Amino acid sequence: MDRVSEADKNKLDSAFANIIFSTGVPFRFADSPALAIFVHLARPAYTPPSAKLIAWPLLDWAHAQMENSMSAFMDNQPIVSLVSDGWTSMRNDHMVNFVAIFPLKTARPVFVKAIATDDISQTGVNIAAELDRAIVAIGVSKVGSVVTDDAACMKSAWKILEQKYPGLICNGCAAHAVNLLIKDVCKLEVFANALERARDVTSFVKDRNALTKRFERIQETLLADGEISSKRALSSVVATRWYTHYNCIARVLENRKVLAQPNTALFHDLKVTPGSRVKKAVFVDAITDATFWSNLQSMEATLRPTCSIIGKFEGDTCSASERVWSIYDFILTKRRNRLSPAKVTKLVQLYMNADLSSRGSLVSVMMGQESDAGESDDETKT
């Protein structure tokens, strides 16, 4: 007869809960009837923990174990750079994270903690106080530098910390600074116009499924004929990521031959509504304008070196605090928007700090859609 001892059940429960913590799937996965059938067939004597057990005692236990491992791990690191960044969730919770980076590259970054600022004003004094607490938690003698964005309140906090800890170096994020440089370049009139037209060209194609499919077929034909060397999609712009503006213009340039067929293959039999007629005219005006292509080439050549630098700056160790927010976005989805900041932070810490002793890059963010069809996770204990 199949039996499960109390010790074995505790181990199985912990391992089962870790599936939830390490993949980011909703707690409700544990209550799936299909999963219950599978577990019963695999091990009839074992009943896995419920979603509520995973969301509360098992999460708290796993988080406590992780913090113990993190503390022991940090004790063995000779020097640490503290990186901090802010973020606002879909619940409108403003949060600040603290990530430990190891300049000697002895290990991958460690997510130390995140706090919800609530109604605390983000002044230089308050920011310095939070950074100070993180420095003390890590160990004053270990922290050699603090890296944040270069907002005025941050610079004020730097002065407070540098006065308190002589020798501490505080500075802004290099990737953030270069992004702002690209932003300024994109404001130049000649480039701003070219960028706007490139965005119009991109959105006109990408916003229309039939046109996108036709665009892809033309790419395949030109690639087979050797007229283009690659088949890459047009790239949309992300407002706060200025290097994506470079990607947008670079992809438009790469696909110039594909886009140069407005009145033949690309638009053949394509239905144009009155509402899209103006957008089509803007599209055709751009791709048939030699000045547009000339300005786009100049802009691409100007931005290419700077964007290459951003790529190096935003490696695993350089953009760690921003990657934390990517994982928050991955875990705190619309279906899970009832999770409190404290619980989400525990999940993100477990996800990011898995296997603290290993070397290598940060855990890749799983960007696939959730498989759970239920509503958001409920933290109500009833």
As a whole number of angstroms, the distance between CA 234 and CA 232 comes to 7
- In which order are the strands placed within the sheet that holds 94-101? 110-116, 94-101, 80-88, 143-148, 169-172
CA distances from 270 to 172, 197, 204, 265 (A): 50, 21, 13, 10
For the chain, what's the residue count? Answer: 382
As a whole number of angstroms, the distance between CA 153 and CA 45 comes to 58
What is the DSSP pairing of strand 80-88 with strand 110-116? unpaired
- Please report the pLDDT score of residue 178 as a whole number: 84
Q: What is the pLDDT of residues 12-54, one digit of tens each?
A: 999 999 999 988 889 999 999 999 999 999 999 999 999 999 9
- Please report the pLDDT score of residue 319 as a whole number: 52
As a whole number of angstroms, the distance between CA 98 and CA 135 comes to 10
- Please report the pLDDT score of residue 365 as a whole number: 33
For the entire predicted model, the pTM comes to 0.72
Q: Angle at CA 159, nearest 5°, toward 153 and 161?
A: 105
- Please report the pLDDT score of residue 191 as a whole number: 94
Closest CA to 316 of 362, 285, 347, 352: 362
Closest CA to 20 of 40, 41, 3, 35: 35
CA torsion, points 112, 321, 164, 180, in degrees to nearest 10?
180
- Please report the pLDDT score of residue 267 as a whole number: 62
- Please report the pLDDT score of residue 36 as a whole number: 95
As a whole number of angstroms, the distance between CA 78 and CA 76 comes to 6
Alpha carbons within 13 A on the beta-carbon side of 42: 10
- The parts of the chain modelled with pLDDT lower than 50 are 317, 357-382
Boundaries of every domain in the chain:
6-67, 78-172+316-352, 180-313
CATH class, 78-172+316-352 region: alpha beta
DSSP state of 360: S
